[in-house]
Structures are given as structure tokens and as C-alpha cells.
Amino acid sequence: MNLDTNRHSVFKLYYHLILVIKYRRKVIDDNISDTLKKYFLNIEDDFQIKLEEWNHDIDHIHILFTAEPTTNLSKFINAYKSASSRMIKKAYPEIKDKLWEEAFWSKSYCLLTSGGATIEAIREYIKSQGETSEKD
């Protein structure tokens, strides 16, 4: 595993973000998804994040990204949702007809941490710490 670094730490922080269209309106096609992805890539550096994977369905998107320990995730997500909502409605004015009161994203979102080890494996590793030194 390649780890990320900054001046004071070593880390690998993966996040799985799911954003849903308000009232699950079916408005996302390949073109809209590509445009939303471009907006995401445009603000990566501002928030010290890096896109790892992107995909969509007709009413939501899935994003896998990495971040730094200092990244303010809620600020990033709110900035992305706000800017992408405005920009997507400007780029695709016909989309407004399919939305509820012009709201593009649902107010809520799902953000999950993700990594290479399962939670159970981490628990067992933590529980096992100090066992060998106690036997010596």
C-alpha cells in the first residue's frame, strides 16, 4: 500500500461519498455525470482531495476519494454540492423541468470511510497489542 504524507503525518484516508438527487429525480445520464465529475476535479486541490473512482446511476452518484487528515470534509461536500448544482443547471437548463423547486441535490449525503482492512481485523490487531511483551 502506498501511503500519503504531509509534513507531520503518514496516512491513507479513503472515503466513499454518495450524493442523491433531490427526491430521487432521474436526471443523471453519462453527459451530466461527466460534467459533475469535471466540477469535482476542479476543486480537488482546494480541499486536498484526490478522486479515485467515479460512477453514477440515474438518481445518484458514487465517489471514492482520498483526503488529508486536515481536510474539512463537510465544508468540501457542501462547497461541491452548491457549486455543482448551480453549474449543472446552467449547463443543462432543460434539467430544471425535472427537478423539484430547482433543488438539484438532496440536503443529506452518505459518507463512509473505507480502507484495506476490515473493522474486525483492526479490532483484533488492537486487542493483540502488548501480548508478546507480556510473555517475555
pLDDT, tens digit, 9 for 90 and up, residues 37-51: 999 999 999 999 999
Q: How far is CA 19 from CA 38, 49, 85, in A?
A: 15, 17, 12
Indicate if 125 belongs to the active site.
Answer: yes
Determine the Cα angle at 41 with ends 11 and 9, to 5°. 15
pLDDT at site 101: 84
| Predicted structure pTM score | 0.86
pLDDT band of 32, cuts 50, 70, 90: very high
pLDDT, tens digit, 9 for 90 and up, residues 87-136: 999 999 999 899 988 899 999 999 999 877 787 888 898 898 877 655 55
Within 10 angstroms of residue 6's Cβ, the number of other Cβ atoms is 11
Q: How far apart are the first and last CA of the chain?
A: 32
Decide: 67 and 17 in contact? Cβ < 8 Å. no
pLDDT, tens digit, 9 for 90 and up, residues 56-81: 999 999 999 999 999 999 999 999 99
- Alpha-carbon span 126 to 92, nearest angstrom: 51
Q: Give 74's DSSP letter.
A: H
